């Protein structure tokens, strides 16, 4: 049962992050997920210092605010300061993440947050973080409910606003022409990425969140040119990675997060190699001369 909860947690994070990651990949903004996952740390620390607790709603507000600050900073540096996009992302997330580390160091006696936990997480501890009812009944791990609720919100967001999200991803000029604000939808997407990141932090850490934000959507992108199919493939691939990674980790007795991340890399490599070989074989078949035989006709 312990392994089931671990795999279920990984699958929920993979699907939640992967669905949002599809739009990041299509916008060529994959590494913004990396930036936000690090930049929200000072928001989490400030929210804790102000409220004095680690309630999910409080953490979401703090992380969401800093996620938007990071996005504003990246966009400002890119558009106003004419800094290259990758450089703007690098400067922003290292600056904000470093502020978070300094805040933790300064208020170490007040902040019950470990930067190593934020970075690496420990998904194996999920089964012991349980919810107990007033009647004393154990109803399962707390992260499952948080991640499940976040997934429902993300699915509803994509389903209700699929048109706006797809148009601003594929053709922002046309979206603007018909009255859809690319800026508004950009920041909405970044806000959801921020919220997903902070909800997943305690369970899986930043590294695995980045893996699921970029990995499954990138693999799905190789397999199809349809956005709807890409979203579906991302869900299937994310769940498969969680299952395979969890089973391999249990068999080898290694880090679960590390195993899932390695599984993502291996799966990406296999799909890439398969597609390359398929294209080469297809090219060879098209270029092969047709064999003709002389048929005697009477």
| C-beta separation of 192 from 154 below 8 A | yes
Q: Is the pLDDT of residue 216 over 90?
A: yes
Dump pLDDT digits (tens) for 54-77.
666 777 788 778 877 888 888 888
Query: CB-hemisphere CA count at 13 Å for 157?
Result: 20
Domains in the chain and their CATH numbers?
2-129+140-282 (1.10.3470.10)
Q: Is the pLDDT of residue 16 over 80?
A: yes
**Bridge pairing between strands 130-132 and 138-141:** antiparallel
> pLDDT grade, residue 293 (50/70/90)?
very low
| Residue-level pLDDT at 285 | 64
Q: Is the pLDDT of residue 29 over 60?
A: yes
> pLDDT grade, residue 230 (50/70/90)?
very high
Residue 129's region, left for phi above 0, alpha for psi from -120 to 50, else beta, is beta
Find the mean pLDDT for residues 252-269: 90
Contacts of 163 (CB under 8 A, 6+ apart): none
Contacts of 285 (CB under 8 A, 6+ apart): none
State the Cα–Cα distance between residues 215 and 263, nearest whole angstrom: 10
| Residue-level pLDDT at 127 | 74
Find the mean pLDDT for residues 182-189: 86
| Residue-level pLDDT at 295 | 44
DSSP result, 83-150 = --HHHHHHHHHHHHHHHHHHHHHHTTTT----HHHHHH--GGGGGGSEEE-TTS-EEEEHHHHHHHHH
pTM of the model: 0.84
């Amino acid at each position: 049962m312990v392994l089931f909860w671990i795999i279920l947690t990984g699958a929920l994070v993979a699907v939640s992050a992967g669905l949002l990651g599809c739009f990041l990949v299509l916008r060529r903004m994959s590494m913004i997920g990396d930036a936000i996952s690090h930049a929200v740390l000072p928001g989490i620390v400030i929210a804790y210092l102000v409220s004095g607790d680690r309630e999910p709603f409080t953490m979401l507000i703090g992380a969401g605010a800093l996620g938007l600050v990071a996005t504003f900073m990246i966009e400002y540096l890119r558009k106003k300061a004419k800094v290259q996009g990758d450089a703007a992302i690098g400067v922003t997330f290292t600056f904000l993440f470093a502020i978070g580390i300094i805040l933790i160091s300064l208020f170490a006696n007040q902040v019950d947050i470990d930067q190593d936990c934020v970075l690496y997480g420990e998904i194996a501890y999920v089964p012991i973080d349980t919810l107990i009812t007033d009647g004393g009944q154990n109803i399962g791990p707390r992260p499952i409910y948080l991640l499940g609720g976040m997934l429902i919100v993300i699915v509803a967001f994509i389903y209700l606003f699929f048109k706006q999200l797809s148009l601003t991803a594929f053709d922002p000029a046309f979206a603007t022409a018909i009255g859809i604000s690319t800026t508004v939808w950009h920041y909405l997407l970044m806000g959801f990425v921020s919220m997903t990141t902070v909800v997943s932090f305690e369970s899986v850490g930043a590294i695995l969140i980045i893996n699921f934000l970029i990995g499954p959507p990138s693999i799905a992108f190789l397999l199809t040119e349809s956005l709807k199919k890409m979203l579906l493939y991302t869900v299937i691939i994310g769940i498969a990675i969680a299952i395979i990674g969890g089973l391999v980790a249990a068999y080898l007795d290694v880090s679960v997060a590390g195993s899932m991340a390695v599984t993502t890399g291996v799966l990406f490599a296999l799909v890439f190699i398969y597609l390359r070989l398929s294209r080469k074989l297809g090219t060879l078949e098209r270029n092969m001369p047709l064999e003709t035989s002389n048929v005697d006709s009477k």
